[in-house]
Structure 1
Amino acid sequence: MKGRHVTGTVVLDSSLTPGARLLPVALQAVRFRGGFWEARVDLVRQVTLRQQHDQLVATGRIANFHRAAGAIGGEFNGRYYNDSDVYKWVEAASFSLATHPDPELEHRLESVVSAIASAQQPDGYLNTYFMFDLAADRWADLTNKHEMYCAGHLIQAAIAHHRATGRRTLLDVSIRLADHICTTFGPTARRGTDGHQEIELAMVELFRETRDRRYLDEAVFLLEMRGQQPPVVGGSPYHQDHLPVREQSEAVGHAVRLTYLACALADVAMETGDKGFGVAAHALWASAFERKAYVTAEYRAPADEPSRISRFSLG
């Protein structure tokens, strides 16, 4: 298929995707002129991103990377998934800079990118929680510890940074991490996937960014690991691990994980033409947003029993 040209920075690049019906719209092609959205976008750009960065520093999330690199001592700060908050900020700051150059924000961003890059291990592994005394526990608890989830957010942040700035520092970090995952988990390696979906989306987008088919194949493998026997992430509806993904049609379990799963199914279906993935994605959408969403379009798992299977239930 010939590429369809898009000028500018895009969030999701479907310009070479065989099953995509629409071209992505570049961020630079969109302008808010007054009203509800312009005020809120300006607030995020001018205030929120800076306050978020201040909090990443104050809570030790940035320091975790310096500690992992051996630049400072001390204990790990926060929860085992804290790295993902840093990566989400990098993604947001990068896309903001794509449309609104800001030297001060760019300086903050590049200092964070440098800290992340310094923490990567020689084999490509990168997760600041599993360092030093916890290094032996890497990939030991796929159900709960969010290692691939954090990796997925790093990959998406790296793609955003590359598309917005043209710099490869973080993209190269993400490629080494993705290669480590592909070597560790796969048809000829270890069975496994993550209890919290996200890595699948990231692998598809890394394929789109690099055109390296290994990453798309890895996304397919990670999706197909769900619902297997014996289960690799607990086998519960909470983790959408109760059935093979092609057989899932009811939105159940953790709501964020479910939406990440459905988006990954749609992405892979568009790239590969896999009708089973496409049918499942449409079914999960219908279940979540036609029968389990509020009038505000909010979808979430029922608070009292997040894994229950019910056609009409609100969280």
Structure 2
Amino acid sequence: PNGRWENVRDRHELYCAGHLMEAAVAHYRATGKKHFLDSLCKFADHIDSRFGRDEGKVRGYPGHEEIELALVKLYHATGNGRYRDLASFFIRERGEVPYFFQEEARGRGEANGDFFGTIERMKHWQAHAPIIDQQEAVGHAVRAGYFYAGAVDIAREQGDIVLLDACKRLWTNIATSKLYITGGTGARYEGEAFGDTYELPSESAYAETCAAIAFILFSHRLLQVDLDAKYADEMERALYNGMISGVSLDGRNFFYVNPLSYTTVPGEKKRHQRNTNRRQEWFGCACCPNNLSRLIASIGSFAYSIDDAQDTIAVHLFIESKVNLELGATGTEVIITQETAYPWNGDVAITMSVEKNARFSMLLRIPGWCNHHEININDEKVDAAIVNGYARLERAWRDGDLISFHMDMPVARIHANPRVAELHGRVAITRGPIVYCIEGADNGKDLQQLLLPASSALQVDTEPSRLGGMPCITARGYRSRIKPSAINALYTDIEGELVPEIIRFIPYHAWGNRKPGDMLVWIRECMVCFPP
């Protein structure tokens, strides 16, 4: 067709090719059949013939990153190093001067071609500088997450410490100043982009479902090269909150964006079109539903990892599961059966099955939210050394050995860094990895009027008829009301009143599954409240 590869900045040819390659690899791994894989190898060969540094090739890269991850997977499935090298080219060429998107626009005769050569504009595509020189996460949050994840893949494959350090620097920038408490990323509707440092608005948050997924992929890849629980903690935060909130409890409807506050406004004129309190059946740009399906189907691959060199098996996520693993160094076959009701309680039972006694280490993640835990093996308490957030259990394992792992899971009050201006005087409620919110279905309208005293007890409340029996939280609080004499005044010197009220919190990911209404994560907190 005419126009092929002439506008890789705006058209998603390479992005779609990447997803199709990932599908082909998944199909091959699931079925052993190669017809789909072989077709996509031909497609990858074609792309490799068009892009690169060799004479006659285009020194370009995709406008929407994703193919970088897919090419590495294709390399692992086929052993063809050209696919890995092409991914490396796309990662390393981005940000080089002259800017490819500027040259491409000029070639198409676009009058504003020079506009796409400005550094600020190029930040949208993370193409303003080579990745090793980038200091903060900028631009489109989904593209960025895929780009950084692909860069970790290449750093790992090529042993590039400089590239890996750049990825860690960018991850830290997100996790310490640009990440929502739900694990969402992307503060701005404009450009679906990261905001400035500590720019984390609640009502206008974009926090696209795909951006949470991209951050999960980024965190998981760093976890594979640097076994540090901080990566698994943030991966889990996004999984149980800002990612899974993107799908309704019955799996039929979807959120594109995931704000942390929703206030009903007549006419809905103040919001961008995707900010809604009703999940949609589908979207014209339907990336999020498919991405959710893909991630949920592959969740098992995030739960465990093996380090053959160290003879270790690491447990990253606590999920009811059964997995067959083989330690490559010794050829030891291990079957791990995990039984748990996590994240609703902190008890995990892990049964070890081995054909013969074998010495290796089991590493259990101690979540960052957990202040007290206990580990027993065959009903005997063990004091395990904790390194980088993982408890190390090294022993000669026998068939039937049982690890009982308990994590205290109290309700916690979380406060934001004071540099997040919008969240001054507000508190979020969590329990384990779950972030909670208040919703109109339980608390009526005008949620901004509610106040939670700092001294108020937070009680776990399980009601089978509410949200399938999910643990909810209740507390005594107040609603601030305007006195009738001042009801029509925009400003007044007449003091309001505080009315006692029971406040009910539900898991954030479950909001919007009942009657449409308001929602709020960060509730106003009062240090001292005096009842009327």
Structure 2-normalised TM-score? 0.33
- Which residue is 1:297 aligned to? 183
User: Tell me, what secondary structure is at the counterpart of 1:153?
Assistant: helix
- Give the Å deviation of 1:307: 5.6
Q: Which amino acid aligns with 2:75?
A: F
State the Cα deviation string for residues 169-209 of structure 1 (Å, max 9, x = none).
Answer: 11001100000011110111211110000011111111111
Q: 1:172 aligns with which of 38, 41, 45?
A: 38
User: Tell me, what secondary structure is at the counterpart of 2:136?
Assistant: coil
What is the rounded CA distance, in whole Å, between the counterparts of 1:290 and 1:141 in structure 2? Answer: 35
Is contact 1:251–1:284 with CA below 8 Å preserved after alignment?
yes
Is contact 2:187–2:195 with CA below 8 Å preserved after alignment?
no
- Matching of residue 282 in structure 1 with residue 168 in structure 2: yes
Which one has the bigger helix percentage?
A: 1
Q: 1:153 aligns with which of 19, 22, 26?
A: 19
- Give the Å deviation of 1:256: 0.3
Is contact 1:292–1:311 with CA below 8 Å preserved after alignment?
yes
Q: 1:240 aligns with which of 117, 126, 138?
A: 126
Is contact 2:92–2:130 with CA below 8 Å preserved after alignment?
yes
- Give the Å deviation of 1:289: 2.1
What is the rounded CA distance, in whole Å, between the counterparts of 2:195 and 2:183 in structure 1? Answer: 20
- Which residue is 1:265 aligned to? 151
Q: 2:49 aligns with which of 173, 183, 186?
A: 183
- Give the Å deviation of 1:221: 0.6
| Counterparts in 2 of 1:313 and 1:299: CA distance versus 1, 3 Å | same
- Give the Å deviation of 1:306: 5.1
What is the rounded CA distance, in whole Å, between the counterparts of 1:305 and 1:185 in structure 2? Answer: 27
User: Tell me, what secondary structure is at the counterpart of 1:137?
Assistant: coil
- Give the Å deviation of 1:305: 6.3
Q: Which amino acid aligns with 1:138?
A: R
| Counterparts in 2 of 1:242 and 1:301: CA distance versus 1, 3 Å | farther
Is contact 2:94–2:127 with CA below 8 Å preserved after alignment?
yes
How much identity, in percent, do the aligned residues show?
40
What is the rounded CA distance, in whole Å, between the counterparts of 2:19 and 2:195 in structure 1? Answer: 29
- Which residue is 2:74 aligned to? 206
What is the rounded CA distance, in whole Å, between the counterparts of 2:138 and 2:91 in structure 1? Answer: 16
- Which residue is 1:192 aligned to? 60
Q: Identify unmatched segments of 5+ residues in structure 2.
A: 102-115, 206-532
Q: 1:249 aligns with which of 135, 157, 162?
A: 135
| Aligned 1:17-56 pairs, distance under 5 A | none
Which one has the bigger strand percentage?
A: 2
- Which residue is 1:98 aligned to? none
- Which residue is 2:3 aligned to? 137
Is contact 2:18–2:67 with CA below 8 Å preserved after alignment?
yes
What is the rounded CA distance, in whole Å, between the counterparts of 1:308 and 1:294 in structure 2? Answer: 11
State the Cα deviation string for residues 226-277 of structure 1 (Å, max 9, x = none).
Answer: 1122211345111111111111121111010000011001111111111222
| Counterparts in 2 of 1:299 and 1:208: CA distance versus 1, 3 Å | same
Q: Which amino acid aligns with 2:63?
A: G
| Aligned 1:79-98 pairs, distance under 5 A | none
- Give the Å deviation of 1:284: 1.5
Is contact 1:250–1:309 with CA below 8 Å preserved after alignment?
no
Q: 1:220 aligns with which of 85, 88, 94?
A: 88
Structure 1-normalised TM-score? 0.55
What is the rounded CA distance, in whole Å, between the counterparts of 1:142 and 1:242 in structure 2? Answer: 17
Instruction: Work out which structure has the larger RCO, using CA pairs closer than 8 Å and 6 or more positions apart in sequence.
Output: 1
State the Cα deviation string for residues 96-117 of structure 1 (Å, max 9, x = none).
Answer: xxxxxxxxxxxxxxxxxxxxxx
| Counterparts in 2 of 1:150 and 1:304: CA distance versus 1, 3 Å | closer
Q: Which amino acid aligns with 1:282?
A: K
What is the rounded CA distance, in whole Å, between the counterparts of 1:217 and 1:258 in structure 2? Answer: 20
- Give the Å deviation of 1:224: 1.5
- Which residue is 2:502 aligned to? none
RMSD (Å) for aligned C-alpha atoms: 1.6
Q: Which amino acid aligns with 2:151?
A: L
Is contact 1:266–1:281 with CA below 8 Å preserved after alignment?
yes
What is the rounded CA distance, in whole Å, between the counterparts of 2:188 and 2:63 in structure 1? Answer: 19
User: Tell me, what secondary structure is at the counterpart of 2:71?
Assistant: helix
- Which residue is 1:42 aligned to? none
Q: Which amino acid aligns with 2:162?
A: G
- Which residue is 2:28 aligned to? 162
What is the rounded CA distance, in whole Å, between the counterparts of 1:307 and 1:204 in structure 2? Answer: 26
- Which residue is 2:335 aligned to? none
| Counterparts in 2 of 1:213 and 1:249: CA distance versus 1, 3 Å | same
State the Cα deviation string for residues 57-87 of structure 1 (Å, max 9, x = none).
Answer: xxxxxxxxxxxxxxxxxxxxxxxxxxxxxxx
What is the rounded CA distance, in whole Å, between the counterparts of 2:194 and 2:65 in structure 1? Answer: 19
Is contact 1:142–1:194 with CA below 8 Å preserved after alignment?
yes
